[in-house]
Amino acid sequence: MHAYDFRCKNCQTEFTLHYKSFKAYDEATPQCSNCQSADLARVINRINVASPSRDYSKMDSNDMLGVFESGDSREVGKMFDQIGGTSPELGAQYHEITQRLLKGENMDKVEKSLQQRENDPKSNPVAKPKTDP
């Protein structure tokens, strides 16, 4: 089975289609799973996503590093979301990062804007959790 990732240019839905062979893919007319539009863009993932519903909570640190190194913001966002999405103690910043990544914002950009905020305490009104014992 070959998995092909697409993004619908009409409704921006991302989805994966599976074909038995390259020939089957070649002969098929892929359609959006959401709106049935055929106006699609191929999404090339550098990481090999074994299943569309990847369980990041079961990943080891090497796998996670691989996701980070892929530079795929949405994939990292999904990982963040699955690992800490239901943990309110991780704080608003964590959830902000997750949401920004899920929107496809550039990872470097998100990181830089957070660093700038850390360097300037006046622009960071959210109280930081105590790290000292």
33 sits near Zn ion (criterion: CB under 5 A): no
32 sits near Zn ion (criterion: CB under 5 A): yes
101 sits near Zn ion (criterion: CB under 5 A): no
Of 2, 22, 28, 35, which lies in the binding site for Zn ion, with binding defined by CB under 5 A?
A: 35
38 sits near Zn ion (criterion: CB under 5 A): no
- Shortest separation between residue 9's beta carbon and Zn ion, angstroms: 8
40 sits near Zn ion (criterion: CB under 5 A): no
> For residues 104 and 77, what is the distance between their CA atoms, to the nearest angstrom?
8
Residue that the structure tokens 């103690």 belong to: 89
11 sits near Zn ion (criterion: CB under 5 A): yes
Of the CA atoms within 13 Å of residue 83, those in its CB half-sphere come to 17
Judged by beta carbon, residue 13 or residue 93, the one nearer Zn ion is 13
- How far apart, in Å, are the Cα atoms of 26 and each of 20, 52, 75? 11, 21, 27
For binding to Zn ion (CB under 5 A), which residues are involved? Answer: 8, 10-11, 13, 32, 34-35, 37
